[in-house]
Amino acid sequence: MTAVKEAGRRPLSHFAERSLVGLLAVAGAGVGFGLLLMLVRFRWSPLRDADHAVAEWFNDLVAPHGPLVTVLQAITDLGGRPVLIWLVTIAVVGLLIRRQSRLAVYLIVTGVGGLILDPSLKALVGRLRPVVDVPIAAAPGNSFPSGHALGSFVAYGALLLVFLPAMSPRWRKPAIAIAAVLVFLVGLTRIALGVHFVSDVIGGWLLGAAWLGVTAYAFRLWRRERGRPVPPLREGLEPEAGEELALAPDEEKVLEHPRSAVAELLVGWVLVFGALYAFGMFVSYHAKGTFFDTLDTKVPRWFAERHTDLLTDVSWWWSKFGDTHAILLVSLVFCPIVLALWRRWRPVLFVVLAMFGELSLFLASARVVDRPRPPVDNLDGQMPTSSFPSGHIAATICLWAAMAIIVFPRTDRWWRWLFVGMAVLMPVGVATSRMYRGMHHPTDFMGAILLGALWLSLLYWVIKPNADVAEGNQPAIESEQVDELDDELAKAARPD
């Protein structure tokens, strides 16, 4: 009996020891932030002088180098709200699909807390941003603490704690190191770009560590009170959920014959490029007097004669659905959800290759064909690429058609037809807007259709994106169960 009692006490004592160390670390971060806040608030001269000296040094170092500024901007965006909110939102949706509602609640609470702390403390302190000799970036609001430093620490730290169990033990330390380096680089870029002082960034890190520690400790207390084991944080918040958190736990390999698939795709890419080159050269330089020439002459003029302010505004917005940012945004939402639902990389690979192939084929064919824009008013001005084929239309075709190909055979619900409809509506809308704006000929639209049809057909034949459906793979949650997610989320948020 004594041995049994000792065995029962041992996990509790281990938890108490780990909790004490963790609480001391959290308390230390909180005290450090409070001290720094007071020094900033009362404008302690040594700190203020050091902050300004470092800001001026970085400005002298970075401002003359445009490419370096571009790199710093790209890194700093990884700590911005758009990226972090997207990451957390997609993670929450994926967790709900995999029925991990407790972890979803943890991410929501932790993320919302970070969003609340940043502007409220900025308003409380009221510190102005650095003023440098050569401004290279701008940011709204006050300076202390750094929202990028705070947000990146909280978001990447919380995601790491949630998904560590999905990683094999040998990858956990490298993952922690990568997250730490990323958070450090985001903070460093805020100083280098001249939008934050060093103390702003350090304050953001300290506050982020304190808040992340508080939420993680609360989650561990919740587990202990319900009689669940409380592992070290290096194993994640819920180690037993590792299999459900794994991206594709049931997939042994993505492609059965990857080498032959690569060879087939390379050969196919060349053939598709050849078809685009032949058609592009014909309609651009050798179609005089043909139906194609009549079409390319009359249609741009017909649109140009019907320009109105309202239609011009509508065409601008609709044209944006086919630009790089919109295509990337839709892809970055669709692919993680597909991966969470069907636990297979192959459909995601199909979409990714569809977009990379489209981009490379578009750039290569536009370069060699080098077709001028229609001889009408080009509302978008000078573009870096030539007219044939339309990159906006080709990207829209490839994206929405690829999504329809993935979704349609995977469900028998009525909304699968929405993807089919969007695969038609979106390219037609983008094509109309691009021709209205005088940026493309009708045969550029035909070239985009040719590119999309040939490339997607090749990918479908080689990748076989829906092979798992034929093998009987079912989604992690059926479409008729979607209404249950709100109930699960509410149940996980309630204290038992």
pLDDT value, residue 482: 47
pLDDT in tens, 342-374: 888 889 999 999 999 999 999 999 999 999 999
148-159 average pLDDT score? 93
pLDDT value, residue 355: 94
List every span in the chain annotated with CATH 1.20.144.
258-472
Of 37-46, 73-82, 429-438, the range with the lowest mean pLDDT is 37-46
Domain covering 258-472 in this structure, CATH number: 1.20.144
More confident residue, 18 or 337: 337
pLDDT value, residue 295: 92
**pLDDT at 490 exceeding the cut of 60:** no
pLDDT value, residue 17: 47
**pLDDT at 158 exceeding the cut of 90:** yes
Measured CA to CA, the distance from residue 47 to residue 344 in angstroms comes to 52
Of 81-85, 88-92, 121-125, 261-265, the range with the lowest mean pLDDT is 121-125
pLDDT in tens, 376-413: 988 888 888 889 999 999 999 999 999 999 999 988 88
pLDDT value, residue 485: 52
pLDDT value, residue 1: 40
Band of pLDDT at residue 62, cut at 50, 70 and 90: confident
Of 89-93, 228-232, 280-284, 422-426, the range with the lowest mean pLDDT is 228-232
